[in-house]
Amino acid sequence: MGLLRDVLLIMLPALLTGSAVFLLIRHNYKIGNEKLDREYKLERLRLVNPVRLQAYERMVMLLERMMPSQLIIRNVVPGTSAGELQNSLTTNIRQEFDHNLSQQLYISSHAWDLIKNARESVISEINSTADKLVPGAPATDLAQLLFQGEMENNNSTLYKALEFLKNEARQLF
């Protein structure tokens, strides 16, 4: 009986001390892992945010370059027909869009959908405006109609997409 009492007097404090040390080590390990996770997330954000911001910049530039007035300035060639200008404008839009396809990784799905809708809207506007002209009309007639349409249509999908992108990019910071 005395031996059992001596063993319990030795083992009980040892078990309590061992349990306390185990719990402290486990708690410190958990805190250390949480700290590493936070640091990893911060580092990831530090690396990814500049790339995301650049994607927003590129998408804004894409939308600006898809505006009919900008397209016309870059693509009109004196002496060409409206059909040739129409083809040049739509080809230019598609090439610009294709060049920026990878940027969809860094922007929201809604923003990407708005950009695609804006592209289709501008192409549709160019095609419908060109259809109003007689075959063989000069490119200046198409350019003039597109300029007028752009001035009258300030609430188009292009402008909505541009504003949405700007607002979404501002929310990053």
- 92-115 pLDDT tens trace: 999 999 999 999 999 999 999 999
Q: What is the overall mean pLDDT for the chain?
A: 90
- For residue 37, what are the contacts with CB-CB under 8 A and spacing of at least 6? none
Write down the pLDDT at residue 155: 58
Write down the pLDDT at residue 47: 80
Q: What's the total number of domains in the chain?
A: 1
CA-to-CA separations, 102 to 60, 81, 116, in angstroms, rounded: 14, 34, 13
Looking at residues 23-27, what average pLDDT do you find?
A: 93
Over pLDDT 70: what percentage of the chain? 99
- For residue 140, what are the contacts with CB-CB under 8 A and spacing of at least 6? 76
Write down the pLDDT at residue 5: 82
Task: Answer yes or no: is 95 within a domain.
Answer: yes
Task: Answer yes or no: is 63 within a domain.
Answer: yes
- Which domain, by its residues, includes 82? 49-170
Task: Answer yes or no: is 19 within a domain.
Answer: no
Task: Answer yes or no: is 20 within a domain.
Answer: no
- Rounded to whole angstroms, the Cα distance separating 52 from 64 reads 18
Torsion-angle region of residue 148: left (phi > 0), alpha (psi -120 to 50) or beta? Answer: alpha
Residue with more model confidence, 74 or 1: 74
Task: Answer yes or no: is 118 within a domain.
Answer: yes
Query: What pLDDT digit, counting tens, does each position of 47-101 carry?
Result: 878 889 999 999 999 999 999 989 999 988 888 899 999 999 999 999 999 999 9
User: Which residue shows structure tokens 């939308």?
Assistant: 63
Write down the pLDDT at residue 123: 95
Task: Answer yes or no: is 27 within a domain.
Answer: no
Task: Answer yes or no: is 77 within a domain.
Answer: yes
Task: Answer yes or no: is 8 within a domain.
Answer: no
- For residue 135, what are the contacts with CB-CB under 8 A and spacing of at least 6? 83
Q: Sign of torsion, CA 148 151 154 157?
A: positive
